[in-house]
Amino acid sequence: MDAHNYPGRGLSISQLLFALNEELKRVAYSPPFPLEAVSQLDHDASAALATIREWKNSFARVNLIPSDILSLIPTHLPSQKDRFHAASVCRHWRGVLLKHGALWSQLFLRKGEDYVSTLLERAKGSALDVFTHRDGPIGTLPLISPRAQQIGYLGLSVHRWQDVVTFSELNFGSFPLLRALEITYSVIFDSNGRPNTVTSSPRPFFRDSVNLERFVFRSWELALLSHFSFPNLTTFKLSADSIGDCSASHLLNFLKASPMLKTVEIEISKLVKLGRALDETVVVLPNVETFSLHVAEDSAIQVYSVAAHISCPSAKNTSLTRKIHADEMGVGLGMFPTPVSWNTIVHQYMSSPIEEVTLKVKDTEDKDVESCLTFRSSDATALRLGFNIDTTDAFEEDLIIPLAGMGWEIFSKALETTKDHPLLSHVKRFHIEYRAAISDTYRMVLIAEEIQELFNSLGPLDEFTIRGCDLHLFLDRFLDDPVLGLHERFVFPHTNELTILQPSMEDDDMECMDAITKLAKLQHALGKPFKLVTIRYWRLPAGMAEELGRWVDAVDYRSELPKDGYRD
């Protein structure tokens, strides 16, 4: 409507309404009573009022912006329901928004046929995002089938594998616009405890989806991957809670058929079977930049065995994590790669020498134990080895290693793995963070000796950081009353910058603060002085900074309370 041309042009709004009102009274009281005329006049009055309101609304500041910009406002709303509300604000908004097909391209099939047909009409030729629900009506499929070529995203959440087959055959399997496919297949057990049957197909599913870039697959069996092949895939995320065939061959075959992958994230909750046929198999993914492999209930270090069969020479971030239950923890349990697989993994995922090592061990709020051993190279490539312990329903009396000792066991094994690193001599930065339950003194002595062995294998360091650790492991020999009784040969490597961060309020570390000065004095006497010592602690001895400054070039010394008053 032209904002400056409306019925009654030349009259003011009040004059027009007055005229309509007078005409309504004249007709209403003229004998005989003309009901049809009154109804028509009432309709004309309502239409006039609506026209006037629409005309006035056209001068609202927000409605003066171009329609193509106004149509972008609903794209920032959090839900489709809000978009429906936006289309009901006024006639002007409704007219503009209904013309913008992309706003109505999200289809939730569980909402029924009327909803789907309405949105398909509004979406026109826009690319569609189609979402299914395992209990949704099947009557919407005939509506979707003619528009299959418009589907850009397809999210399938099903209980029956046949539903996946049915969708893959829509439009004869041709999905030219499909960019992302997400399948969640939840298993259902019959009365005999057997899982629902998977219907096989001689042809690949979604076989002509040549533009598919992202595939997310949540299933209970790795073997189902054999039904898919996407040569131009760039992102693959797999979550498998396997109760059936969990052979790694299915995974490796899928990866081999996807040479364009850039991001791979895999999470498997059961033990992966390798098989003899994989002994010589190595799948090279030349374009992968991020690779993540997480295996739960992995008591046989299978995560590293699988990783050894995959090579990502261009990866910038690699994460290999295994998780076991507390009752599987035992003395001598392998937690990190063996030297053989370790060397293989390093050369397949990192092309430059390692310059930085970070070791973290901590207890979570759920009393689980999480650890991460991270290696970074000179070209910013990162390789993370994770080992997590699930303490759910763990009974102390049934454990081989007590909960208080699990963190120290991981810490010890991580130090061994670090020492086995073939490129350790290139390390310039080393960071240790330990925030887990403290074990017995005997175990602390063993770990302190392993730390010394690690120090002996290190070359000169630019940085060395201690965060949250019991400082007795490093400073016991400098205490007036040693706790561990370490021998005199315990020395630090040549380090330019020493950083000590103690994010807790434990008085046990107070005596270690004075020992830091003795350490700095010794390093100075050995001709290996620290250039910078940084200390963060909640309470620092008076005069320590001045005394420490005698033996180092610079001191960054500050009292700092933890964020919550107890720990950060």
* pLDDT given at position 312: 93
Domain extents in the chain: 13-59, 440-568
The whole-chain average pLDDT of the chain stands at 80
Using H for helix, E for strand and C for coil, what is the string for 342-381? HHHHHHHHCCCCEEEEEEEEEECCCCCEEEEEEEEECCCC
Strand pairing report for 382-390 and 354-363: unpaired
Q: How far apart are CA 210 and CA 139, in angstroms?
A: 28
Phi then psi for 214, rounded to 5 degrees? -130, 130
What pLDDT digit, counting tens, does each position of 383-392 carry? 999 988 888 8
pLDDT reported for residue 128: 92
In the predicted model, is pLDDT for residue 504 greater than 50?
Answer: yes
Residue 198 has pLDDT above 70, yes or no: no
pLDDT, tens digit, 9 for 90 and up, residues 254-277: 999 999 999 999 998 876 776 655
pLDDT at position 165 is: 86
Distance in angstroms (rounded) separating the CA atoms of residues 386 and 361: 10
Global confidence as pTM? 0.80
Q: What is the pLDDT of residue 1?
A: 42
**Is the distance from CB of 120 to CB of 96 less than 8 angstroms?**
no
Ranges 66-70, 554-558, 560-564, most confident: 554-558
pLDDT band at 5 (very low <50, low <70, confident <90, very high): very low
C-beta separation of 97 from 86 below 8 A: yes
* pLDDT tens string 212-252: 999 999 988 788 888 898 989 999 999 987 665 577 888 89
Q: What is the pLDDT of residues 364-399, one digit of tens each?
A: 777 788 889 999 988 889 999 998 888 888 887 777
Separation CA 125–CA 115 (nearest Å): 17
Which pLDDT does position 331 carry in this prediction? 66
pLDDT at position 54 is 62
Q: Which residue has the higher pLDDT, 75 or 137?
A: 75
The arithmetic mean of pLDDT across residues 511-533, rounded, is 89
What's the confidence (pLDDT) of residue 565?
44
Q: What percent of the chain has pLDDT over 70?
A: 76
* Structure confidence at residue 435 (pLDDT): 78
Tens digits of per-residue pLDDT, 322-338? 888 888 887 667 788 88
In sequence order, which residues have a C-beta less than 8 Å from that of residue 89 and are 6 or more positions away? Answer: none
489-528 burial, b for 16+ CB within 10 Å, e for fewer?
Answer: ebebbbbbbbbbbbbeeeeebebbbbbbbbbbbbbeeeee
- Rounded to an integer, what distance in angstroms lies between the CA atom of residue 466 and that of residue 496? 14
Helix (H, G, I), strand (E, B) or coil at 298: coil
- Euclidean distance between CA atoms 336 and 324, whole angstroms: 13
Contacts of 42 (CB under 8 A, 6+ apart): 24
For residue 91, the model assigns a pLDDT of 73
- pLDDT at residue number 568: 41
pLDDT of residue 12: 65
Is the pLDDT reported for residue 423 higher than 70?
Answer: no
